[in-house]
Amino acid sequence: MLKLLIDTCVRLDLAKDHRQQVTLRYIEQLMDAGEIALVVPIQVVNEFTRNRDRIIKENQQSLSSVFKRVKDTIRRFGDEERRNNVLEQLDDVDHRLSTLSEAVIDSIEHIERLFEKVTPAEITDAVKLRATDRAMTKRAPFHRNKNSMGDALLIELFMEAVASRAKGEHFIFVTHNTQDFSSPSDLRQPHSDFTEIFAPEYTSYSTNLAEVLKGLAPDLLEEIKFELEFVMVSRSLNEIVAWENRLERQVWYNRHMVRREAIEDGRIRLIPREEFDSKNYDPTTIVDDIWEGALKAAAEVEAELEGDVGPWDDFEWGMVNGKLSALRWVLGDDWDMLDT
């Protein structure tokens, strides 16, 4: 069995990148299938927990602040003929990125679920002593003249896990922290101060988690990729706004037709403007020149929507109003906002 100790920095990088959801799902499936097991020091759990809110906040702030600066710059200096088109495309991307921001939260929660599948390894006194000895003798990860006790505890915990190895187990230490753990001459290899740890054939060092995992169960990986790729892509903001406008016109047109019927059967009468009394509004009257404008607008809607204006039965009419309400909610309105 393959046993992995995945450094906190790797887990944080997995959380930041929505594309790594495939990797997280793959790890979970391999664990459930008994192909791999995770060595999770309690220190990694604590570090990840301390950083989770920061990662979420930075992700949300970085996306919104970058787009605000870009759009402000285009409004000030962009070519007038192409400016609106560029801003529309940026609005679409900004809208889609809100989904990616939520994906970061999903990834963080997925990593936390992986933590729950294992019993965290506690830091023993022996681990602390060996880490302290590294600090006193200036061996990696203390070779850079900084406080690297956390990293030292991590590598010593890995060595302790290896010491209790069962037959057939292979241990891999995975990190992105090449400055503290890798050889200066080849970042893919461990620092020479860790030779004793990675000398045995049943231990390995890696800075690429994907490379470690990809050959384990290729069919399973392809299946997971298909599952995650076969996801409905969110509509663009332009598409949502266009449909909201279309539905609004359909609702307006049908209300217009109801009023037209009322005029034809005498329930509503047309009056000249001089008879209109704004202080005593009568809902059974319509000013004639306003109605002429409404007739012209109705003809324009018919042409614009190519006759897709009803009549509809009660169910279809309910669907039109429901769609309009839902899209307006997505765009920030309250539920049941159906004003036209």
> How does residue 100 score in pLDDT terms, banded at 50, 70 and 90?
low
Q: What percent of the chain has pLDDT over 90?
A: 54
Residue 240 Cα to chain centre, angstroms: 19
What pTM was estimated for this model as a whole?
0.63
**208-259: pLDDT as tens digits:** 998 888 778 777 777 766 665 555 556 777 788 889 999 999 999 999 999 9
| The two structure tokens encoding residue 315 | 């169910």
**15-32: pLDDT as tens digits:** 888 778 888 988 999 999
Find the mean pLDDT for residues 299-304: 91
Residue for token digits 């285009």? 74
* pLDDT score recorded for residue 225: 65
Nearest-CA neighbor of 325 among 312, 334, 336, 314? 336
Query: What are the residues facing 4 on neighbouring strands?
Result: 38, 172
Domain boundaries, the chain: 2-229, 237-330
> In this structure, are residues 140 and 134 in contact, taking their beta carbons and an 8 Å threshold?
yes
Average pLDDT, the chain: 87
Q: Which residues contact 172 (CB under 8 A, 6 or more apart)?
A: 2, 3, 4, 5, 203, 204, 205, 206, 212
* pLDDT score recorded for residue 64: 64
